[in-house]
Structure 1
Amino acid sequence: MKTIYALLGASLLSACSVPLIQPNATQAVASHYGTSAPQGGAALDVNWWSRMGDAQLTQLLALARTNSPDLRSAAASVMAARAQSGQTGANLYPSLTGSASATISDSPTTPRSDSNTALVDSKWELDIFGKVQNAAKADTARAGAEELAYAGSYVSLAAEVADGYVGYRACRLAQAEYQNALASQQDTVTATGSLVDAGLSASADLSLARANVANAEISVTNQRADCKVAAQSLARIVGVSQSEIDAVISKGGGLPKTKPFQVASVPADMLRQRPDVLEAEKRFAAALLDMKVAEAQLFPSLTLNGSITASDPRSWSFGPALSLPILDGGASRAGVRLANANALTAAESYRAATLTAVSEVEGALTRLAAARSNLASAQSLVANYQAYFDTVDRDWKVGAASLLDREEARRQLQSARITRISQSEAVLVQWIALYKAIGGGWVAPKVVISKDLAPKKIEG
């Protein structure tokens, strides 16, 4: 008995000999954003997409939620984490195992005999130092982190689908501009031919007009290809066939309407709406619990074992078993240091997630302000180039301006129109980026995994 006490004391002393660095995930953030946050419109929520009033965008988001490979993979990760949490949590309770066997034996020297045996075994590790309980808590925290990762995946997916859709619509608007330019160039060829026939214009003007038509045809062909590629990218993101995507985007037209929303002026409030920040927080909590589990591995463990023969209840056994970590080559202490390092990494990941979240909101606010200002300038650009072209066009028709002057004015007007389309797209894209940066209207959902791995959120 003295030997057991000595071994127990030695193991307890060895458990206290591992130096640790206390993880610290504290990260200060500014009290206000550097760029003024827009305050117009309704409060941010997950229904922001539907308030944009674009039926095709809403339909694409619904398809993506059901079919996106990335989102389905995230849902599978939630299932795996929940199952792991259930397995670990089961270790808190006694296990009971039954076994039965039947044997028939015969030989030339012994008579034939039958034997039947039924046993019931039980085992329960007494969680003296909290190893089992902390392991269960850690896996529960990791399951919660995977649920948050799923929520973050949906926020990112929705923003990616919206970006792709807005890009496609802008591409088609630009394509329409190029097609209008081509039609105008073809009319110019006809008009120039009449002027040449009447001796009012040089034949070189007709060659220039025809060259401009060929150049416009190239622009239309390239733009049409760009739009097709944009539609193909949408099919990949959403996770459905190209024909299904084409059926959706063939309806409607133009860019979705911008729907401003309110943004909390305090960055700390925004952080509670970011699934990735809360995910990092959960993973840090799990890492701290893993440290406790690793430390508990340095201490003795006590297990109660018992068995009973069902065919003969008088035959039974019961007793404790003590396991003492004495010599393991330093593996247990290395495990503590590894868990400590993992916790330090998790702490820095949480700090990085916090800094990234604030930076993304600041960046989105800055770019949104610039895009809105640029759109106003683009409106002025189009209006002035339109007035300039109208003047040159009138002069050309009466012979006061050359065809080259008219074509230069037309190209400037076309470029201004496409710039306005690009800036309108940029404003929408930055609103989407801001929506994603502040959490996409997410508010602590619970995730339910359906049979087809298409999770749904239940507001709790």
Structure 2
Amino acid sequence: MIRNALCAAPLLVVASCATVGPDYSPPAISLTSHFFGEASAPLVDAAYEQWWTGFDDPALNELVSRGLAQNLSIRGARERIRQAEAALARAGGAAQGSGGISAEALRSRDGSGSIDTHEGLTGNAAFVFDLFGGFRRGREAAQANLDAARQDEGTVRLAYLSDIVDAYVAARYYQNTAWLTRQAIESRRATLAAVNRQLTAGDATRLEVTRAEASLRTAQATLPPAQSGFETNVFRIATLLAEPAGPIFERMKAGARQPLPRRAAGSGTPADLLRNRPDIRAAERDLAAATASIGVAEAALYPSLTLSGVVTDVEEHTWSFGPRLALPVFNRGFLDANRRQAVAVAAEAELAWRATVLNAVEEVQAARAQTIYWRRQVAAQRAAVESTTEVQALTRRSFDSGEILFSDVLDADRVSLESQMSLAAGARDLAISWVRLQVATGRGSQVGLTVAPTGPMPLAAN
């Protein structure tokens, strides 16, 4: 019976073109032709867009560029790509073949004192035929994992861009609020001195002096949180750049205006996300790898054929050579469970891909709405600052002429500072929402790459 089975081995080799398991095809998903409330043109080359230059801030541009080369998370993602490349090489032809050569030289002495010398050389080799495509599916899975690792690098790059720009925007915001607070402190200190002089002259009351002191102390109390916020975000920038904080702090301490986007940014179309978002493409590649793994698990259910040979002892010229056919009989239930598990993993991977697409659409629409809202808010708040500044000046003139009470001056100062603080906060929130929109649309994910990640594209149906 064994002889007949081995004689049938050539027939199995002929059948080696058969590949079990499902053939992968990119998934399709139904998407609208445009985002809610917007009919924007498709985004072209968004992955290579250096969107942060839209802030027109040379200091920010320099920090971002340094971090793209130095950030540890990005460098770690590149190492994961190298791991995936090695895994793909391991899954190639080397996975089917094995063998080696060993040599030995022994000297021994028996009881009579006779010394015997033995030298030997052994060579062995084996090759496993890919009868049902298990190795082929394994290579497909390894290639898909490599593609996913390359896309994951893009996701890490987007996360870095978001973090570094957010930290810079926040640092400049706190720096601006600290400057506004110092201006208010100086103004209120001068007001307190003037009221004290009036008290000495009998033109002011102790209540007015106390209120002026309270106004000054209140402004002074808001300065430390602003200073702390500035330094905290500078430290965050240093971590993202993998650099000491000292030189960055000195550079940032010089001051600059709060970053504001100088141009509007289109959202593109939902279908653009399938091409531009690396997390979506990575999820699609994970699905491809999971689909190929079904074939690997299914191939294990079928017979395997190994051709092996051994040559030993050059002096005696002994050798052996022949095929070995293995039939999975007693562990078939275990192998079938592996296949069912692989099918479930692939089904979960498809659901994860669909969820990633829908989350991406949500992120774009939310970031776009927030950007529109904060742009309107900043415009309105800028007008409010102009009005409250004028009110503050008129109030002081009216007080100097004796037309109003001192409490009116304090109220005008407080409202003016609050208005300026609100403008600074609105500018920060506008910048951050604009950053969110850039990242949500996948802009900048491949900046600095010389080779674009590859892989089949999923399909979008309107």
Shorter-normalised TM range: 0.7 to 0.9
SS at match of 1:120: strand
What's the offset of the Cα at 1:94?
A: 2.9
CA–CA separation in structure 2 for the residues paired with 1:97 and 1:250: 64
Structure 1 residues 244, 82: CA separation in 2 closer, same or farther (over 3 Å shift)? farther
CA–CA separation in structure 2 for the residues paired with 1:399 and 1:264: 56
Deviations 1:289-313 (A, max 9, x none): 0000000000000011012247359
Structure 1 residues 117, 294: CA separation in 2 closer, same or farther (over 3 Å shift)? same
Structure 2 equivalent of residue 100 of structure 1:
103
Deviations 1:167-196 (A, max 9, x none): 110111111111100000011012112222
Number of residue pairs aligned between Structure 1 and Structure 2:
437
Contact between 1:23 and 1:344, CA under 8 Å: does it hold in 2? no
Match of 2:30 among 22, 28, 31: 28
Structure 1 equivalent of residue 460 of structure 2:
none
Q: Does 1:361 align with 2:364?
A: yes
Deviates more, 1:262-271 or 1:163-172: 262-271
What's the offset of the Cα at 1:43?
A: 7.5
Query: What is the TM-score of this pair, normalised by structure 1?
Result: 0.88
Deviates more, 1:105-114 or 1:181-190: 105-114
Structure 2 unaligned blocks of 5 or more: 9-20, 453-462
Deviations 1:191-220 (A, max 9, x none): 112222222222321222122222211111
Match of 1:150 among 150, 153, 169: 153
Deviations 1:258-284 (A, max 9, x none): 143553532102320000000000010
Deviations 1:10-62 (A, max 9, x none): xxxxxxxxx99x999543221110032677x9984432224533222123223
What's the offset of the Cα at 1:71?
A: 2.4
Q: Partner letter of residue 301 of structure 2?
A: L
Cα-Cα RMSD: 2.8
Contact between 1:38 and 1:262, CA under 8 Å: does it hold in 2? no
Q: Does 1:378 align with 2:349?
A: no
Structure 1 residues 437, 171: CA separation in 2 closer, same or farther (over 3 Å shift)? same
CA–CA separation in structure 2 for the residues paired with 1:108 and 1:114: 15
Structure 1 equivalent of residue 417 of structure 2:
414
Structure 1 equivalent of residue 219 of structure 2:
216
What's the offset of the Cα at 1:428?
A: 1.2
Q: Does 1:91 align with 2:83?
A: no
Match of 1:134 among 111, 120, 137: 137
Contact between 2:133 and 2:299, CA under 8 Å: does it hold in 1? yes
Alignment of 1:229-378 (within 5 A): 229-260=232-263, 262-263=265-266, 265-309=268-312, 311-312=314-315, 314-328=317-331, 330-378=333-381
SS at match of 2:56: coil
Structure 1 residues 89, 313: CA separation in 2 closer, same or farther (over 3 Å shift)? farther
Match of 1:74 among 61, 72, 77: 77
Structure 1 equivalent of residue 449 of structure 2:
457
Contact between 2:297 and 2:342, CA under 8 Å: does it hold in 1? yes
Deviations 1:307-341 (A, max 9, x none): 22473594332211111000116110010011011
Structure 1 residues 214, 51: CA separation in 2 closer, same or farther (over 3 Å shift)? closer
Contact between 2:260 and 2:427, CA under 8 Å: does it hold in 1? no
Structure 2 equivalent of residue 451 of structure 1:
none
Q: Partner letter of residue 70 of structure 1?
A: S
Structure 2 equivalent of residue 13 of structure 1:
none
CA–CA separation in structure 1 for the residues paired with 2:4 and 2:301: 16
Structure 1 equivalent of residue 440 of structure 2:
437
Structure 1 residues 43, 304: CA separation in 2 closer, same or farther (over 3 Å shift)? closer
Structure 2 equivalent of residue 53 of structure 1:
56
Contact between 2:172 and 2:255, CA under 8 Å: does it hold in 1? no
Deviates more, 1:24-33 or 1:178-187: 24-33
Deviates more, 1:180-189 or 1:387-396: 387-396
SS at match of 2:30: coil
Q: Partner letter of residue 273 of structure 1?
A: N
SS at match of 2:132: coil
SS at match of 2:31: coil
Contact between 1:255 and 1:425, CA under 8 Å: does it hold in 2? yes
Deviates more, 1:252-261 or 1:181-190: 252-261
Q: Partner letter of residue 31 of structure 2?
A: V
The share of aligned pairs that are identical, in percent, is 24
Structure 2 equivalent of residue 189 of structure 1:
192
Structure 1 residues 364, 37: CA separation in 2 closer, same or farther (over 3 Å shift)? farther
Deviates more, 1:164-173 or 1:113-122: 113-122
Structure 1 residues 38, 410: CA separation in 2 closer, same or farther (over 3 Å shift)? farther
Structure 1 unaligned blocks of 5 or more: 9-18, 446-455
Deviations 1:98-130 (A, max 9, x none): 111111111114721111111221111100100
Contact between 1:35 and 1:366, CA under 8 Å: does it hold in 2? no
Q: Does 1:65 align with 2:68?
A: yes
Q: Partner letter of residue 139 of structure 2?
A: A
Query: What is the TM-score of this pair, normalised by structure 2?
Result: 0.87
4+ long deviations beyond 4 Å: 2-6, 22-25, 41-44
Contact between 1:38 and 1:261, CA under 8 Å: does it hold in 2? no
